[in-house]
């Protein structure tokens, strides 16, 4: 088996990333953007033992399920790998993959799994685009899958129409001013990335726009703010983020406000939160609110709750409407400041306090005063650090509510937590339609 060899395959299953899988000559082929039952001609990209990674070069017999993805970069940027499939099939793939991971990693067979999601477009409230050069002109776009080549983009169904005037205004400005684009090879050039959010507020919506540059300023900053407000038709908070490091990290903590305030405002969960422009927020508020509601209703009235990975404190503030006391733990100092302020904005400051530090360091000191507490964890994609799991098992809460954006790391962590915990329920929330990603919510009780 060699690279660039051609094979004709019949797709007989789906993989964990929603790719088509075929079995031929003792090899397992992984073929992105292929659908179950399709007959395809593929070229081999890479071989790893008996695993073969290939791409379609000719569709011989398409699936009757295949649909028009209606996206100019489908199959190129890798952002919506399931967009060619109907939503019912997307649900089946995600549910089946979660069930397989629980079987393999946790050793349990799940029955019916509740699934929340509608599959609508336009759900993403945040976009991050690299600058590039196309036909000698600055452009914004997506990286071609597996590369750092920028593919020009003017629309994206997952984000909705608000990004079209945003991109248009930015590119008109930088082309007229002849502002240079950063080159990864030489480390020269100014424009690196555009990061933007569209957030609902009590008065409509506001936009947070960050230009990431290889420097400290750009010419005509105030004019750009004017152009963005005119194009977007709403209040714009414009920031300049200085990043001179030669790495793949988009943002730095060197950020300056050009227009607007140092905080963004967002209506979520029945309240209004303020967050710093660099803060993490869920990209799909509709599903995020459904998760927050489900977690909150799983808290016993009058409980003591520890909200690990509490971020800007939105979930903590919502939990306090049921709980008697909430302690948030977060490692980022700016997020802790946002969280304590948000507790006041939600009217629960008397029941919530946020601490800065690691869970494994703070929980042992807190535990003696917590009683029979409930632990809420919503870690990043990497899941719980082994030290955190050690600490949980040493100072066990009576209940764990685990929100996860990665079924793989979730099931890895549950395998260890099973030492002292029973898994009472598993539910899925589709935060990312048209992609293979899925959000999970599990309730665990102390044995």
Cα–Cα distance, 371 to 374 (Å, whole number): 9
Tens-binned pLDDT, residue by residue, of the chain (447 aa): 889 999 999 999 999 999 999 999 999 999 999 999 999 999 999 999 999 999 999 999 999 999 999 998 999 998 899 999 999 999 999 999 999 999 999 999 999 999 999 899 999 999 999 999 999 999 999 999 889 899 999 999 999 899 999 999 999 999 999 999 999 999 999 999 999 999 999 989 999 999 999 999 999 999 999 999 999 999 999 999 999 999 889 999 999 999 999 999 999 999 999 999 999 999 999 999 999 999 999 999 999 999 999 999 999 999 999 999 999 999 999 999 999 999 999 999 999 999 999 999 999 999 999 999 999 999 999 999 999 999 999 999 999 999 999 999 999 999 999 999 999 999 999 999 999 999 999 999 999
Q: Answer yes or no: do 296 and 261 share one domain.
A: no
Please name which of 364, 416, 415 lies closest in space to residue 389, comparing C-alpha atoms. Answer: 416
Given a contact cutoff of 8 angstroms between Cβ atoms, the answer to whether 130 and 193 are in contact is yes
What is the value of pTM for the model shown? 0.94
Which ranges of 233-313 would DSSP assign to H, the alpha helix?
285-297
In the structure encoding, which two tokens stand for residue 164, read together?
């079209």
In the structure encoding, which two tokens stand for residue 296, read together?
């909150």
Please name which of 268, 297, 272, 295 lies closest in space to residue 282, comparing C-alpha atoms. Answer: 268
418-421: long-range contacts, CB 8 A cutoff, minimum separation 24? 418/106, 419/393, 420/393, 420/396, 420/446, 420/447, 421/396, 421/445, 421/446, 421/447
Q: Answer yes or no: do 434 and 316 share one domain.
A: yes
In the structure encoding, which two tokens stand for residue 412, read together?
């890895």
Domain boundary among 27, 44, 66: 66
In the structure encoding, which two tokens stand for residue 4, read together?
């660039």
> Residue 18, class by beta-carbon neighbours within 10 Å (0-12 exposed, 13-18 middle, 19+ buried)?
buried
- Classify residue 373: in a domain, yes or no: yes
Q: Answer yes or no: do 158 and 264 share one domain.
A: yes
| Residue 238 Cα to chain centre, angstroms | 23
The maximal CA–CA distance of the chain, rounded, in angstroms, is 66
Q: Answer yes or no: do 355 and 223 share one domain.
A: no
The DSSP element (H or E) to which 213 belongs, if any, is strand 204-213
Report how many domains make up the chain.
Answer: 3
CATH code for position 51 = 2.40.50.140
Q: Answer yes or no: do 137 and 262 share one domain.
A: yes
DSSP bridge pairs for 404: 440
- Classify residue 92: in a domain, yes or no: no
In the structure encoding, which two tokens stand for residue 274, read together?
């303020």
- Classify residue 209: in a domain, yes or no: yes
Given a contact cutoff of 8 angstroms between Cβ atoms, the answer to whether 13 and 30 are in contact is no
- Classify residue 104: in a domain, yes or no: no
Domain that residue 132 falls in: 126-268
User: What per-residue string of b and e applies to 222-232 under the rule 16 or more CB within 10 Å gives b?
Assistant: eebbebbbebb
Cα–Cα distance, 130 to 142 (Å, whole number): 7
Count CB-CB contacts under 10 A for residue 49.
Answer: 8
Q: Answer yes or no: do 257 and 137 share one domain.
A: yes
Q: Answer yes or no: do 151 and 207 share one domain.
A: yes
Describe the chain by its helix, strand, coil percentages, rounded to 5.
Answer: 25, 35, 45
CATH code for position 241 = 2.40.50.1070
- Classify residue 93: in a domain, yes or no: no
Any idea what DSSP says for residue 248? Answer: S
Please name which of 171, 173, 234 lies closest in space to residue 198, comparing C-alpha atoms. Answer: 234
Q: What is the pLDDT of residue 84?
A: 96
Count CB-CB contacts under 10 A for residue 124.
Answer: 22
- Classify residue 98: in a domain, yes or no: no
Q: What is the pLDDT of residue 72?
A: 87
DSSP bridge pairs for 28: 23, 51
Q: What is the pLDDT of residue 420?
A: 98
Cα–Cα distance, 432 to 121 (Å, whole number): 10
3-state secondary structure 2-37: CCCCEEEEECCEECCCCCEEEEECCEEEEECCCCCC
In the structure encoding, which two tokens stand for residue 358, read together?
């690691």
Question: What dihedral do alpha carbons 326, 358, 253, 349 form, nearest 10°?
Answer: 10
- Classify residue 118: in a domain, yes or no: no
- Classify residue 362: in a domain, yes or no: yes
Cα–Cα distance, 120 to 177 (Å, whole number): 38
CATH code for position 430 = 3.40.50.150
CA distances from 137 to 133, 188, 311 (A): 5, 16, 39
Q: Answer yes or no: do 323 and 234 share one domain.
A: no
**405 classed as catalytic:** yes
The DSSP element (H or E) to which 352 belongs, if any, is strand 352-356
Given a contact cutoff of 8 angstroms between Cβ atoms, the answer to whether 143 and 149 are in contact is yes
DSSP bridge pairs for 53: 30, 46
Q: Answer yes or no: do 367 and 241 share one domain.
A: no
Q: Answer yes or no: do 249 and 289 share one domain.
A: no
Q: Answer yes or no: do 131 and 237 share one domain.
A: yes
* Catalytic residue (choose from 71, 77, 80, 405): 405
Q: Answer yes or no: do 262 and 330 share one domain.
A: no
Please name which of 288, 264, 431 lies closest in space to residue 342, comparing C-alpha atoms. Answer: 264
CA distances from 55 to 24, 75, 76, 352 (A): 15, 10, 11, 52
């Amino acid at each position: 088996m060699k690279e660039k060899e051609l094979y004709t395959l019949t797709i007989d299953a789906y993989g964990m990333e929603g790719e088509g899988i075929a079995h031929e000559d003792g090899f397992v082929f992984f073929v992105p953007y292929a659908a179950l039952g399709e007959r395809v001609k593929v070229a081999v990209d890479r071989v790893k033992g008996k695993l073969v990674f290939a791409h379609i070069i000719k569709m011989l017999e398409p699936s009757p399920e295949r649909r028009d993805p209606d996206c100019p970069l489908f199959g190129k940027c890798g952002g919506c790998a399931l967009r060619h499939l109907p939503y019912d099939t997307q649900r089946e793939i995600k549910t089946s993959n979660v069930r397989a991971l629980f079987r393999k990693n946790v050793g349990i067979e799940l029955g019916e799994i509740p699934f929340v999601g509608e599959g609508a477009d336009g759900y993403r409230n945040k976009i991050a685009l690299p600058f590039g050069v196309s036909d000698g002109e600055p452009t914004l776009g997506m990286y071609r899958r597996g590369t750092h080549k920028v593919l020009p983009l003017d629309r994206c169904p997952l984000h909705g129409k608000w990004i079209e005037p945003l991109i248009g205004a930015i590119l008109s400005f930088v082309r007229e001013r002849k502002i240079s684009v950063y080159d990864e090879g030489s480390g020269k050039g100014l424009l690196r990335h555009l990061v933007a959010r569209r957030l609902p507020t009590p008065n409509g919506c506001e936009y947070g726009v960050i230009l990431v540059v290889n420097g400290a300023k750009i010419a005509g900053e105030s004019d750009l703010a004017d152009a963005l407000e005119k194009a977007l038709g709403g209040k714009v908070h414009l920031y300049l983020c200085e990043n001179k490091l030669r790495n793949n990290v988009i943002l730095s903590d060197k950020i300056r406000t050009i227009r607007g305030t140092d905080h963004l405002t967002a209506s979520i969960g029945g309240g209004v939160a303020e967050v710093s422009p660099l803060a993490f927020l869920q990209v799909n508020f509709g599903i995020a609110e459904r998760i927050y509601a489900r977690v909150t209703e799983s808290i016993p009235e009058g409980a003591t709750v520890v909200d690990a990975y509490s971020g800007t404190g939105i979930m903590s503030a919502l939990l306090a409407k049921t709980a008697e006391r909430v302690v948030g733990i977060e490692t980022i100092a700016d997020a802790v400041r946002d969280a304590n302020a948000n507790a006041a904005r939600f009217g629960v400051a008397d029941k919530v306090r946020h601490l800065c530090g690691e869970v494994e360091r703070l929980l042992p000191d807190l535990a003696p005063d917590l009683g029979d507490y409930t632990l809420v964890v919503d870690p990043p994609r990497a899941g719980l650090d082994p030290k955190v799991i050690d600490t949980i098992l040493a100072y066990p809460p009576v209940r764990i509510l685990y929100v996860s954006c990665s079924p793989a790391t979730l099931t890895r962590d549950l395998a260890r937590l099973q030492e002292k915990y029973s898994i009472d329920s598993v539910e899925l929330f589709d935060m990312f339609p048209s992609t293979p990603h899925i959000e999970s919510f599990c309730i665990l009780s102390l044995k």
